[in-house]
Amino acid sequence: MTKICLYFQVHQPFRLSSFNYFSRGSEYFNEAKNKAIFNKVADKCYIPTTRKLIELVRAHPEFKVSFSFSGLLMEQALKYRPEVIEVYRELYNTGNMDILNETYYHSLAYLISDEEFKEQVRIHRNLIKDIFGHRALIFRNTEAMLSNDMAQKVENMGYKGIVGEGWDKILGWRSPNYIYQPNGSDIKLLLRNYRLSDDIGFRFSTPDWREYPLTADKYALWLASTQGQTINLFLDYETFGEHQWKETGIFDFLEYLPKEVAKYPHLKWAKISELVDMESKDRVDVPQILSWADIDRDLSAWLGNKMQDCAFRNMKELGPLILKSEDKELIDIWRKLQTSDHFYYMCTKWFADGDIHKYFNTYMNPYEAYSNYMNILNNLKEKLGLNPVKSKAV
Amino acid sequence: MRVLMVGWEFPPYVSGGLGTHTYELTRKMPHDVNITFFMPDRGEVSVPWMDIKRIKTSIGFGPYMTFGGSVLKESIIKSVEDYAKEVGKTAKQTDFDIVHCHDWLTVMGGICAKRENGKPLVFTVHSTEYDRSIGNPCPWVMDIERYGINEADGIIAVSKRIKEQIIEKYGADPGKIRVVYNAIDSSSFDCGLKFKPTEDLILSLGRLTLHKGIDHLLRAAKIVIEHHPSAKFVIAGKGDKFKDLVEMSIDLGIEKNVFFLGYVPQEDITKLYARADVFLMPSVFEPFGITALEAMAAGTPTIISKTSGVCEVTNNVFKIDFWDTEKMASRILEILNYKELFEEMSNNCRSEAKRITWDDIAMQTKDFYESVLR
């Protein structure tokens, strides 16, 4: 028996307003843009894909899915498009949908402090309880960050499993299709099969891929011929309708998948929390933080260049003062500035080499992203009575 | 392949980008392309990679003057016609497979050479009268340009903007145009890893004409200086707006922070790039804008207007609307104040400039010659 876990990550950041060096405003987040993008993605992906999943679950009662929503995604849904919450609730109420916890702010809070990390997880847990009445057993850190230490902390917070990338460097000769435990704790590692996941997420509509076009029957055959306890297909939800447009046939693929998988009796759909009942095969060592990003699978998409490190450090340094203020609105702004996307926009590692096709950005380039972030941070600092970041020559 | 190239200026006799362009292009041309270079006789000039023929004419002005008054007009028409006639005569005694000319001053010569020898004509459009005059063109210059565009068998545009413009304003046949950008010999400007200077110096470079947008720069400078009193704006170049711009800086009350250097020789320009914190090219229109690549090669964080050709080939720069003086000021203040921004931009723009080479441009030009000959 091989389980198949289909899990989707859903997130939208609060994109920043455009700030000049000397801007005086306090509207840090671009309401109009965030609303427009949210509605666009809701129409192309969230609503149609979730409706499709509801149909599929009704037609195939054995079909199960799992979801992780950032708090910011839910906040924007509540604000701009409550219908999105409605369809997710409807899917949840079928009983075939599982939900994970993560940091509410889709943040790098783990790198700020334990207290900040735990607090943002607590806020997320309450949100999921409020909206779905669900208590999550599985945790996923932002961008699937994972390390031995992190796993231990997450176990101590009461979680039974943590999501990670099934990356060759930690697995060595071992397959991602088994349950493992990290060094130092007994929490179960749920590792992504990145090859089979990326076949859908990235390669699906690539005409020069030798498997193009990917059909549900072919894919089900691949699943059926894969050895292991579980095949973890972890995908960005926007794969459906946004990264892969409707015209690529991605919805047809999804539609036929349960039917094709049903042809193989040894394959069984599972919710992500059902995986932790299985026995661990081995220990895996993850001394450094692993992520699911690009070819490096580390933190270098968010931190590492001078701009990213400086922006993160300056944001982090504001923490004690802001938290002491107990000003809820201010704390919320500070946490929204922790969202990983802001730091990703400052990434130069593909951009500087001119390989801008690999690069998705709401800004024209990483320098604009950094300047804008720093202009906002300076504005915030001035409001707090602190000295803004400046060269000393003045 | 033998190419007859009709030029106008060539180092050391240079007053604009045309001289640099023809110098680098001919220098890097693959060895199986033999070039004979024609230029008006201004004195001794020679290079090891091609024959230069000095053509006797009555020439006494640079390529980018703006024109007014009928006396001047008469003398320019005469110079252009003289040069064309002489080019035609000399071409008759020269063997070549293709003739290549640059901009309106040389295109008449190119046409004469084509007529005399029955060989195809390639015409590089570096800029147009329509742009140089900001939409108020001198009709007879436009006529010459249109004539050249019609007569040419192949047209090289130095940016997509130029390509679109010669289609729209000059009725060029899109099928015979190819975009080939300018490039940079970055070793002449690269002084190694650059650390943020402490002078707070913002450099701008170019002829002081309407289309260079220096008036917008001055308005931005006023905002910058309010927030950063140690900022110094250094403007190198001369031109017909010199007096107006100096007066404008006085009216804005920023004359203490603005330095008009007038003409600056090349070796000093290289030093200025290295000293500057920011290089700014606020042009209303810039067909290409090679100075931005030079500043990038020196590792100087660069701000360019979106209406420049160089904008189409660079990533590691700030791109602004020339009229958006607030944004322009903000970008300058950011580079002055955010050390990490300076360092990342400096490093990355320097590497980017290294990748934009004349070897590539010369190969693309040769390839275009071949497609025209086919």
Task: List the single residue in B198, B228, B344 with the smallest CB-CB distance to A307.
Answer: B344
Residues of B in contact with A304 (CB under 8 A): none
Dist CA A181 CA B183 (whole Å)? 55
Q: Do A371 and B355 touch (CB under 8 A)?
A: no
* Mean pLDDT, chain A, integer: 94
Task: List the single residue in B230, B326, B331 with the smallest CB-CB distance to A393.
Answer: B230
Q: Quick one: average pLDDT of B66-93?
A: 77
Helix (H, G, I), strand (E, B) or coil at A290: strand
Dist CA A88 CA A319 (whole Å)? 34
Residues of A in contact with B331 (CB under 8 A): 371
Task: List the single residue in A20, A354, A391 with the smallest CB-CB distance to B330.
Answer: A20
Q: Quick one: average pLDDT of A81-85?
A: 98
Residue A375 confidence (pLDDT): 97
| Chain B interface disruption, residue of A307, A389, A391, A394, most B CBs within 10 A | A391
Dist CA B340 CA A389 (whole Å)? 11
A29 — phi, psi (to 5°)? -115, 140
Residue B78 confidence (pLDDT): 82
Residue A295 confidence (pLDDT): 85
What secondary structure does DSSP assign to B284-311, as a single string?
S-BSS-HHHHHHHHTT--EEEETTBGGG
Dist CA A63 CA A67 (whole Å)? 14
Is A115 among the residues known to form the active site? no
Share of chain A above pLDDT 90, in %: 88
Q: Do B344 and A370 touch (CB under 8 A)?
A: yes
Residue B69 confidence (pLDDT): 41
Q: Do A371 and B334 touch (CB under 8 A)?
A: yes
Q: Say yes or no to pLDDT of A373 above 90.
A: yes
Distance from CA of B327 to the nearest CA of A (A): 7
b/e A342-366 (16+ beta carbons within 10 angstroms → b): bbbbbbbbbbbebeeeebebbbebb
CA distances from A188 to A50, A191, A207, A231, A300 (A): 28, 9, 38, 15, 26
Task: List the single residue in B196, B341, B355 with the smallest CB-CB distance to A367.
Answer: B341
Residue A37 confidence (pLDDT): 95
pLDDT tens for each residue of B235-272: 999 888 999 999 999 999 999 999 999 999 888 999 99
Task: List the single residue in B318, B337, B344 with the smallest CB-CB distance to A391.
Answer: B337
Do the Cβ atoms of A19 and A376 come closer than 8 Å?
Answer: yes
Report the topology of domain B2-183+357-373: Rossmann fold (3.40.50)
Q: Do B344 and A22 touch (CB under 8 A)?
A: no
Residue B343 — pLDDT band, cuts 50, 70, 90?
very high
Q: Quick one: average pLDDT of B76-97?
A: 91
Dist CA B274 CA B300 (whole Å)? 7
Residue A394 confidence (pLDDT): 41
Q: Quick one: average pLDDT of A253-262?
A: 97
* Residue matched to tokens 């060759």: A168
Q: Say yes or no to pLDDT of B327 above 70.
A: yes
Interface of B with A (CB under 8 A): 196, 198, 200, 223, 227-230, 315-319, 326-327, 329-331, 333-334, 336-341, 343-345, 347-348, 351-352, 355
Dist CA A61 CA A95 (whole Å)? 10
Each domain of chain B, given as residue ranges in start order, spans: 2-183+357-373, 186-355
Dist CA A391 CA A139 (whole Å)? 42
Q: Do B338 and A310 touch (CB under 8 A)?
A: yes
Residues of A in contact with B223 (CB under 8 A): 22
Q: Quick one: average pLDDT of B277-289?
A: 94
H helix intervals, B118-265: 129-132, 139-151, 160-168, 214-227, 242-251
Residue A389 — pLDDT band, cuts 50, 70, 90?
confident
Distance from CA of B261 to the nearest CA of A (A): 24
Q: Quick one: average pLDDT of B194-199?
A: 88
- Side chain identity at B131, as an amino acid letter? D
Q: Do B344 and A20 touch (CB under 8 A)?
A: no
Spatial neighbors of B41 by CB under 8 A, at least 6 apart, are B54, B55, B56, B57
- Side chain identity at A134, as an amino acid letter? H
By the 10 Å C-beta count (0-12 exposed, 13-18 middle, 19+ buried), A311 is classed as: buried
Q: At what angle do helices B214-227 and B325-337 cross, to 10 degrees?
A: 50
Q: Taking chain A, what is the end-to-end CA distance rounded to the nearest angstrom?
A: 69
Residues of B in contact with A309 (CB under 8 A): 340
| Chain A interface disruption, residue of B330, B332, B336, B350, most A CBs within 10 A | B330
Q: Do A356 and B228 touch (CB under 8 A)?
A: no
How many contiguous H segments (helices) and E segments (strands) does chain B have? 13, 13
Give me the catalytic one of A75, A143, A155, A165.
A143
Residue A156 confidence (pLDDT): 98
| Chain A interface disruption, residue of B222, B348, B352, most A CBs within 10 A | B348
pLDDT tens for each residue of A10-49: 999 999 999 999 998 889 999 999 999 999 999 999 999 9
What is the DSSP-derived secondary structure letter of residue A240?
B
Query: Looking at chain A, which residue has its C-alpha nearest residue B223?
Result: A22
Query: Looking at chain A, which residue has its C-alpha nearest residue B229?
Result: A394
Residue B192 confidence (pLDDT): 87
Q: Quick one: average pLDDT of B322-331?
A: 98
Q: Say yes or no to pLDDT of B130 above 90.
A: no
- Name the nearest CA neighbour of B222 among B247, B256, B252, B259: B252
Contacts of the segment B19-27: beta carbons below 8 A, 24+ positions apart: B20/B290, B21/B102, B21/B126, B21/B182, B21/B290, B22/B102, B23/B47, B24/B183, B24/B185, B24/B358, B24/B361, B25/B358, B25/B361, B25/B362, B25/B365, B26/B50, B27/B358
Residues of B in contact with A367 (CB under 8 A): 316, 318, 341, 344-345
273-312 in chain A: CB under 8 A from chain B: 305-307, 309-310
Q: Do B330 and A306 touch (CB under 8 A)?
A: no
Residue B68 — pLDDT band, cuts 50, 70, 90?
very low
Question: Is A379 part of the contact surface with chain B (CB cutoff 8 Å)?
Answer: no
CATH class of the domain comprising B186-355 = alpha beta
Residue A352 confidence (pLDDT): 63
Q: Do B339 and A365 touch (CB under 8 A)?
A: no
> C-alpha dihedral over A131, A137, A142, A148, to 10 degrees?
160
Residues of B in contact with A306 (CB under 8 A): 340, 343-344
Spatial neighbors of B59 by CB under 8 A, at least 6 apart, are B40, B42, B79, B82, B83
Residue B73 confidence (pLDDT): 67
Q: Do A20 and B338 touch (CB under 8 A)?
A: no
Q: Quick one: average pLDDT of A79-89?
A: 98
Residue A392 confidence (pLDDT): 56
Share of chain A above pLDDT 70, in %: 97
Share of chain B above pLDDT 70, in %: 95
Q: Do B338 and A370 touch (CB under 8 A)?
A: yes
CA distances from A200 to A49, A206, A214, A224 (A): 15, 10, 8, 16
Identical fold for domains B2-183+357-373 and B186-355, yes or no, is yes
Q: B51-55 and B121-125: which strand pairing? A: unpaired
Q: Quick one: average pLDDT of A360-372?
A: 89
Residues of A in contact with B347 (CB under 8 A): 352
Distance from CA of B294 to the nearest CA of A (A): 18
Q: Quick one: average pLDDT of B110-139?
A: 90
pLDDT tens for each residue of A151-181: 999 999 999 999 999 999 999 999 999 999 9
Dist CA B216 CA B221 (whole Å)? 9
Q: Do A391 and B348 touch (CB under 8 A)?
A: no
A289 — phi, psi (to 5°)? -70, 125
Q: Do B330 and A352 touch (CB under 8 A)?
A: no
A173 — phi, psi (to 5°)? -80, -10
Q: Do A371 and B223 touch (CB under 8 A)?
A: no
By the 10 Å C-beta count (0-12 exposed, 13-18 middle, 19+ buried), A320 is classed as: exposed
Dist CA B182 CA A295 (whole Å)? 34
Residue A293 confidence (pLDDT): 86
Residues of A in contact with B315 (CB under 8 A): 351-352, 354, 356, 365
